Amino acid sequence: MVIFPNCKINLGLNIIGKRSDGYHNLESVFYPILIKDIIEVISGESFQFIKSGLEIPGSDADNSCVKAYYILKKHFSDLPAIKLYLHKHIPSGAGLGGGSADGAFTLKLLNDKFHLNLSTKQLIDFCLEIGSDCPFFILNKPSFVCGRGELIEEFPLDLSGYSFAFVHPAIHINTAWAFSKIKPAVPLKSIREILKEPVLQWKHELINDFEIPVSNEYPVLKDIKSALYQYGALYAGMSGSGSSFYGIFEKNAVPSFSFDKNFRIDIIK
């Protein structure tokens, strides 16, 4: 059985408070984007995890796909051994939620393949054992997300009439470090209200709280954002804690880019 986890972007991201459990409360709108990894599961004599594609930092035991399997194994002792293949195409440490997507999609795949009959709520609860962004990928629709990421409300937003450009400068951002640079504060205007306005107006109000501290540490990120606007983006911003930036363009109006040769560029028309 094969599945194709997609990534997401953050349309605005506000860190509004520190929780007693060590996590942060946030608000953001997550929007699914069709840059995808590939996961395949086949039966095996013992659990095996095989990966290809882009490099994935960390040990295999910390990989979200592996965590997903063993989380289910705790609750379903008769869950069969599998060979779990991951081909990585979504860059890691880029703020696109690729690792979270892989974990969530692995849960969904195993639930379907082995007829575990888990409800959406159960899948979301298991996702929270993997990471804060994971629950979104169970629903995988434009959503207003708050709490630590577990409170998800479908948000009526359709950007299919626009094209996207993504620039990833091969800088891996450590999420814990990024959070350490944030001073939580409640925004004067909710992201939900800002996103009701035309895309062209977002430039003046839609903010990702990570963008300034992360860009101050890596000044090239400021250059990327400026360039996206120079190339005609209606809105440009950083996704998650970075380092990927995206630009929203009029449909089929993304020009040819000339960034550093080590930068990765993806176009979604």
Average pLDDT, the chain: 95
Per the annotation, the verdict on 8 as an active-site residue is yes
Q: Find out whether 19 and 55 touch, Cβ atoms under 8 Å.
A: no
**Start and end residues for every CATH 3.30.70.890 domain found in the chain:** 162-268
Q: Find out whether 127 and 137 touch, Cβ atoms under 8 Å.
A: yes
**Start and end residues for every CATH 3.30.230.10 domain found in the chain:** 2-154
What pLDDT score was predicted for residue 137?
98
206 pLDDT above the threshold of 90: yes
What pLDDT score was predicted for residue 125?
95
Catalytic pick among 37, 102, 133, 266: 133
Task: List, in order, residues 6 or more apart from 77 with CB less than 8 Å away.
Answer: none
C-alpha span between 202 and 93 (Å, rounded): 25
Task: List, in order, residues 6 or more apart from 22 with CB less than 8 Å away.
Answer: none
Range 2-154 classified under CATH 3.30.230.10: yes
What pLDDT score was predicted for residue 150?
85
244 pLDDT above the threshold of 90: yes
Q: Is the pTM of this model over 0.85?
A: yes
C-alpha span between 8 and 216 (Å, rounded): 24
**Which of the 8 DSSP states describes residue 53?**
E
Catalytic pick among 8, 67, 88, 108: 8
What pLDDT score was predicted for residue 114?
97
Per the annotation, the verdict on 222 as an active-site residue is no
69 pLDDT above the threshold of 90: yes
Question: Taken in order 43, 44, 50, 52, is the CA torsion positive or negative?
Answer: negative
Assign domain 162-268 to its CATH architecture.
2-Layer Sandwich (3.30)
C-alpha span between 236 and 249 (Å, rounded): 9
Question: pLDDT-derived band of residue 20, with 50, 70 and 90 as boundaries?
Answer: confident
Give Dmax over CA atoms of the chain in angstroms: 57
Q: Looking at residues 157-185, what average pLDDT do you find?
A: 93
C-alpha 174 chain-centroid distance? 14
What pLDDT score was predicted for residue 60?
96
Q: Residue 59 corresponds to which tokens in the numbers above?
A: 């040990």
What pLDDT score was predicted for residue 129?
95
